Amino acid sequence: MVMKNAAEELTLQLKKERKEVLIHAFLTSVTLVALIVGFGLQFTTVSTFVIGCFFSIAYLAGGARASVVAVKNIFRGKLDINLLMVVAALAAAFVGEVRDGAILLFLFSLSGTLEGYAMGSTKRAVVALMRMRPEEAYKIITDEQIELVAVETLLVSDRVLIKPGERFPIDGIIESGSGPVDQSPITGESVPVEKTKGEAVFAGSINGNAVLVVTVTKLSQHSTLARMIELVTQAQSERSPSERFSDWFGQRYTFIVFFGSFIALGVFLLLGFPSSVAFYKVATLLVVASPCAIVISVPAAVLSALAASARVGVLFKGGAALEDFGTVHTIAFDKTGTLTQGKMEVVDVIGVEATVNTVLAVAGALEAQSEHPLAKSIVRYIETLHIGVLSVSSVTALPGKGIEAKVGSNLYWAGNKKMLKEHIDGLQLALQTLLESFELKGQTTIIVGQNTTILGVIGIADIPRKSASVALAELKKMKVKQIVMLTGDTMAVAKSVALPLGIPEDAIFADLLPEDKVACIKKLQESGKVAFVGDGINDAAALATATVGIAMGTAGSDVAIEAADVALLSDDLQKLVYARGIAYKANIIIKQNLIFAVGIMILMVGITLFGNLPLPLGVIGHEGGTLLVVANGLRLLFAKK
């Protein structure tokens, strides 16, 4: 129930915050109306008492929330920005500028309302994830009986009927049926994926035009979608280093502003300023020196980036992972299943004493009788070419060698070099050279023969992902200085994958055990932050050692999600490019916001101390700056590329 509770808690929190925003918006509206009426009555013959009543209403409505929060924090031993604003407004009223104080409270209240609404957008993005899972499902009781039940009541091994166009209510395995499934809400894949019997589906995905029967593999609270909701919720509650600094800075700086304002007041009076002018300048100083923009600038960017990433299937486990990934200059990749597809494919067929079609016809007949992954890759390849195969009998599997079978008086066989030695005593130089060329290209060889004749050779390899070359090139453009491959395969196999992808030979580390990968990452970290990209299961130690551990293709895998700082729910390397891009952009926006916030504050403080800055202008500069940094941060919420 942990996942479900996290989702329900966020929903309740969002409703509570929405209610607070509505109340705040109402008070802001009352403040504005009272301010306008009071200001307008100043140009009439209405008594000052009536005018004062309207300005008092503006003070009460505009300062109510800030006063309550300020008092609560005082009892907690904290001085905050709300106290600064309330004191500044009261100081303005004290020197007879009650209108300017009302303007301050209105703009501060308006700023708070807009910030609350804007920051709620990141939580609404998470709630949108929750709405992707249906509340009910069609449970198959018997072949003739189907019952509509609550999703929470479904148990592992229950069977569920999914109609065309419906969302999957749970994670499961397709028992019958096949068709396209839109997984974009979960993995971010833009093109529907063809799913058939035995393949996994995830809650929140959308069925295409097929009728599917799905066997439940996870309870609703443990589904990939529920896990996403929990992770994003946790990530938004965890503060990044920049957020922690801005929070630390805001609390201490508020005290400095109060202390500095008292000193400034004394200096103004010693310099002979009239008390009304001195108090007015101090009220302005309290406003323009307030660190609102500084404190809000970081979370506005971080939370927006986290929410935008979750929408495309990229889960950062917190702001720290986001900021770190935006600054790493070295990314190390596991090979199998990360840069490559993780499954063997036929890449080359050479006829020696027979045509290519004959080689494949014999190999297809033999390998169709085997369950070995290499055999399956050959069968898949032949099926795509629509080549007919032989009819064989007396099939015999020879573990560690290959497979053989009889057709009449002929013995056909397919296997490795050990199988070759079973039928042929010596190799001709040309054939030996051919086999070595396959090995140099990192291919596993299947030798096909008839009696004592070699018909041909099939080369099989785990080929690079289609997105790998483009993704690595784009990462290099995004100021990633070094790309490294770490693999347990031989150097020949590693080079066959890495070199075509543009990874230089000195950045290839092969024949590595898990502990060797950890040692390599530690060595790389001597030069700076390192990210490691792996499958999240076999590379758990390396993922934990790296500055940022990134697990690919983790939809449905709790182990993979737990092992990493960043989880890419699909196996598309373009998601890694997106993650790097939004992390890098978030860091830039954080710097922009901080530079702007500090700069505008220093400028206005300088004018206040050594010039004559009107309080309303100071208020506009302060609140306007706060809204600008929030808007700048929220740009990340709409990041698509």
Over the stretch 222-243, which tens digit does the pLDDT of each residue have?
A: 777 777 666 666 655 555 566 5
Total Cβ atoms within 10 A of residue 235: 24
Q: Kindly list the catalytic residues.
A: 334
For position 369, what pLDDT does the model report?
83
**What percent of the chain is modeled with pLDDT above 90?**
21
For 136-222, CATH gives 2.70.150.10
Cα 310 from Cα 479, distance rounded (Å): 24
Q: Are 272 and 603 in contact (CB under 8 A)?
A: no
List the chain residues with pLDDT less than 70.
1-14, 17, 114-132, 184-191, 228-251, 536-538, 554-563, 639-641
Q: What is the pLDDT of residue 241?
A: 63
Domain coordinates of the chain in residue numbers?
2-128+231-307+584-638, 136-222, 345-461
Question: pLDDT tens, 38-56?
Answer: 989 988 888 888 998 999 9
Positive or negative, the CA dihedral 510, 516, 519, 525 is: positive
Residue 616 tokens read as: 């309303």
pLDDT value of residue 455: 92
Work out the number of other CB atoms within 10 angstroms of the CB of residue 528.
Answer: 13
503 near 516, Cβ under 8 Å? no
What distance lies between CA 42 and its chain's CA centroid? 55
Residue 233 tokens read as 């919720």
541 backbone φψ class: left, alpha, beta (φ>0; ψ -120 to 50): alpha
Q: Which CATH number does 345-461 carry? A: 3.40.1110.10
CA angle 22, 25, 27 (to 5 degrees): 110
pLDDT digits (tens, 9 = 90+) for 593-611: 889 988 988 999 899 888 8
List phi, psi (to 5°) of 406: -105, 140
Q: Would the pTM count as exceeding 0.85?
A: no
d(CA 207, CA 427): 55
Do 475 and 577 meet the contact criterion of CB atoms below 8 Å apart? yes
Tokens 């308006």 belong to 110
How many Å apart are CA 366 and CA 382, to the nearest integer?
12
Query: How many angstroms separate the CA atoms of 537 and 561, rounded?
Result: 9
